[in-house]
Structure 1
């Protein structure tokens, strides 16, 4: 089942639908315009949605791997540096990390080839949680683990994160 997000309203409102911005794998986006930030294809990857309601700044990063071996490459690809670059970009747009809250989704074990130790999904999640803790950013909602993919919509105007899952109804964090 999927909810429809077509910008339609009831009660005769003439508001325009919010702009949508797609965040690809190993990418991030920050908005102050109330846009809807979307990402899909979250298996073992993690989507980290950050929100500062006072400054009206929201951001979304789609990370693939737990930790960066070095910082010469794409910082958004890794959980540790991806959260860091998103926080920095939000601060550049007026956010204050003391007001930022997080919502996290993904980290599935869809294709677990590990014979020993934790899967990529759970290691990604551990790294995201550790990095957010380093920044003292509380996690207000999670839809993580399992063995199914997810797609996300971060409604930047409200900070709501809508999670569409292959195995269940959409949920809002």
Structure 2
């Protein structure tokens, strides 16, 4: 975003923050950042190519789409879509790295396959392996919610009311 000063010839650029909602994803470049909040059993997938200064963040609710057309809602479809959009913005798929956060056990309910949070983590790990994207850091599991801020450099700030702050 350009910010204009009182002088008509002087401008400076200010980084923008893009909010990623539940069942959503977004891509930024340069000095811009991505944020999301309310990650409980949902999984936050932070992808970045630091050399190209391109980053993407997905906030997936469930592990597998099973035919639902809302690709951002599911871990197995959000990741490939996010990677494609990042490539369109200049990222090299061979340089993309991943950081994960979320996948908490927020409710007592679970199936034979585990809780929704656990299944989200498994699904994201599977799709990242299939896409050839290495996971370099993660803050997953537990029983607490998280908020994230991702810089295009790949720095991921994780905040939790119960655990505090961490930088991945």
3-state SS in 2 of match to 1:163: strand
Confirm or deny that 1:166 pairs with 2:161: yes
Shift of 1:53: 1.2
- Equivalent of 2:53, from 53, 56, 68? 56
3-state SS in 1 of match to 2:15: coil
3-state SS in 1 of match to 2:64: coil
3-state SS in 2 of match to 1:147: coil
User: If you compute each CA radius of gyration, which structure gives the higher value, 1 or 2?
Assistant: 2
- Partner in structure 1 of residue 110 of structure 2: 114
Please list every run of 5 or more consecutive structure 1 residues that lacks an aligned counterpart in the other structure: 1-14
Calculate the aligned-residue CA RMSD, in Å: 1.4
Which deviations, in whole Å up to 9, do the C-alpha atoms of 1:11-67 show, x marking residues without a partner? xxxx86521110000100001132110000000000000000121110000000000
- Partner in structure 1 of residue 126 of structure 2: 130
Contact 2:113 2:119 in 1 (8 A): no
Structure with greater strand percent: 2
User: Which runs of 4 or more aligned residues in structure 1 lie more than 3 Å from their structure 2 counterparts after TM superposition?
Assistant: none
Which deviations, in whole Å up to 9, do the C-alpha atoms of 1:80-106 show, x marking residues without a partner? 101111001001111111100000000
In the superposition, the TM-score normalised over structure 1's length comes to 0.87
Please list every run of 5 or more consecutive structure 2 residues that lacks an aligned counterpart in the other structure: 1-11
Shift of 1:116: 3.3
How many residue pairs match? The answer is 157
> Distance in 1 between the 2:16 and 2:92 partners?
24
3-state SS in 2 of match to 1:69: coil
In the superposition, the TM-score normalised over structure 2's length comes to 0.89
Confirm or deny that 1:45 pairs with 2:46: no
